[in-house]
Chains A and B, each alone.
Chain A
Amino acid sequence: MDIDMGVVERRTVLAELYSTLPPYASAAFWSAVEDPTLPLEILVKILRTAIASGDEQGRRRIMEWIIVRTQATNLLWAQRVLQMLSLQADERSILARDLCADLHECMMRALADSERLFWEENFLHCLYFERKHVYRSFLTREGLWYKPSASRGMRIPRTLVASLDRLLQPQDRDHQPLEIEDEGVQRMFLSVEQSDLLQTVLCLPDKLKAVILLIFWEGRSEKEAAQVLSISDRTVRNRLRGALKLLRSLLSSESEGSFDA
């Protein structure tokens, strides 16, 4: 694949910055490391140097600093993710902390893995992927992501446990269960807002996402989608049908409130 000039330029800038750092472990070095404007990519490279040289104290210090630098944005991410789900306020704050803890754990593992070189090149993009992974694990754990082959785990989803503590309340307009037939589901795919559509697509298996996005998000015809993906029209239709079926099953399990726990 092609590497454009922007990537080369970015690499050069980072390499130059790294080469201007004061000698490792000196006072000036730590001062430079803890400068909040130092790119996180450089911090990753330094962290890996500390790990390789067996400097446990340095490793811990740099790791903590990376967490400090990213915690505000990670917390916002967690809040944004939870905002997309129908939850009670008390659940939301607990789950936000859970999500952040999971993310930081995954992030620390990835940062320590010297084979994952892209962290030294584009930290934020790697963080997107790590968050995506954590988000999916969260949805699976909470029974909100459909994957037939995935074992849902023995833990009862927190959303369900919390609901036991809640007083029985009459359902308001925002929490009406959905009763949708196949045609209705398809109509909904066509009419939902783009952001809602994307959130719905996130719950589908990867194999079905491209077809749904091309047709309902980019406005392509089934034929065009088939051409883009180099598959037959029939496969497109099958995937479309599969997606609609899964969506219906997701919606019905949601309306039952069971999440297959």
Chain B
Amino acid sequence: MHKKQELSLLYITAQYVADVQTGRQPRLSDYLARYPRYADAIADFVAYYHAVEEVRPSGELASAGTMTTLLATATGQRLTLSQIAAELNLSIDIVLLLEQRAIVPATIPHVLCEQIAILLQQPSAMVQEYLCSLGQHQPGSAMQKRKQQRKVAEEGADYPVPHVMDKLSFRAMVETSLQLSAEQKSHWRTILDAEGS
């Protein structure tokens, strides 16, 4: 693809992503009809974006109309990664891992959950539920309910079930983070030791 076309495609797809992220629910057909020259490339990107890159809130929390992600709560409060990191005395990489729920929930200090709850003005239980919500196979969870509602052709026997993502402990993340300062690491070590995590 020519550089100029590549740039146009980047602008178009960036607009699509911005529409998704601001909750405008863009329609693929509108984009394809508006930019027919890039239809194949747009479709390719859109499929990839929604399959791989899009951070989706867990169905249960979203349907409850409460907290969607750490970055965008239901109250419409929007905080940047760096704002959250500064308020929580954490680094951006760890906030990102919390946002993606890639840290083993049981290893996250209670103090941190409380701080997040205060910062996001959400109940502490809600925050804990959010942090535990991905990749957990608890009875009655949204994932379980979704499974029960599956159509015949979606039965587990027909489709390979992806493995649960390997999660990391909060302490391991603190120790290996390259962005967390020595003081911050020491601060979190003290808290983890005090909580016996």
Residues of chain A whose beta carbon lies under 8 Å from any beta carbon of chain B: 1, 3-4, 6-7, 36-37, 68-69, 71-73, 76-77, 79-81, 83-87, 89, 92-93, 115, 117-118, 122, 125-126, 128-129, 131-132, 135, 173-176, 178, 187-188, 190-196, 198-199, 201-202, 206-207, 209-210, 213-214, 217-218, 220, 224, 228-230
Whether A125 contacts B96 by the Cβ 8 Å rule is no
Whether A213 contacts B47 by the Cβ 8 Å rule is yes
Q: Does B23 contact A (CB under 8 A)?
A: no
Whether B51 contacts A198 by the Cβ 8 Å rule is yes
Whether B29 contacts A192 by the Cβ 8 Å rule is no
Complex contacts, A194 vs chain B, CB 8 Å: 50
Partner of A125, one of B14, B161, B178: B14
- Main SS of chain B's interface residues? helix
- Per the bound structure, the CA–CA distance linking A192 and B159 in Å amounts to 9
Whether A173 contacts B156 by the Cβ 8 Å rule is yes
Q: A72-B177, A76-B97, A77-B53 are in contact. List 7 more A-B contacts (CB 8 A).
A: A6-B18, A84-B52, A84-B162, A115-B3, A125-B14, A218-B27, A218-B29
Q: Does B87 contact A (CB under 8 A)?
A: no
Shortest Cβ distance from residue A254 to the other chain B in the assembled complex, whole angstroms: 9
Residues of chain B whose beta carbon lies under 8 Å from any beta carbon of chain A: 3, 7-8, 10-15, 17-18, 27-29, 32-33, 35-36, 39-53, 82, 85, 91-94, 96-97, 100, 102, 150-154, 156-166, 177-179
Complex contacts, B13 vs chain A, CB 8 Å: 125, 128-129
Whether B178 contacts A80 by the Cβ 8 Å rule is no
Whether A135 contacts B7 by the Cβ 8 Å rule is no
Complex contacts, B27 vs chain A, CB 8 Å: 218
- Per the bound structure, the CA–CA distance linking A175 and B173 in Å amounts to 33
Complex contacts, B47 vs chain A, CB 8 Å: 198, 201-202, 209, 213
Whether A1 contacts B35 by the Cβ 8 Å rule is yes
Contact A72-B36, Cβ < 8 Å, known A4-B15, A122-B14, A218-B29? no
Partner of B10, one of A129, A201, A224: A129
Whether A79 contacts B48 by the Cβ 8 Å rule is no
Shortest Cβ distance from residue B12 to the other chain A in the assembled complex, whole angstroms: 7
Whether B53 contacts A37 by the Cβ 8 Å rule is no
Whether B52 contacts A81 by the Cβ 8 Å rule is yes
Whether A118 contacts B45 by the Cβ 8 Å rule is no
Whether B39 contacts A229 by the Cβ 8 Å rule is yes
Whether A89 contacts B51 by the Cβ 8 Å rule is no
Whether A220 contacts B17 by the Cβ 8 Å rule is no
Query: Which 4 interchain pairs have the tightest Cβ spacing?
Result: A72-B93, A198-B51, A210-B43, A191-B153
Of B14, B159, B165, chain A has the most CB atoms within 10 Å of the CB of: B14
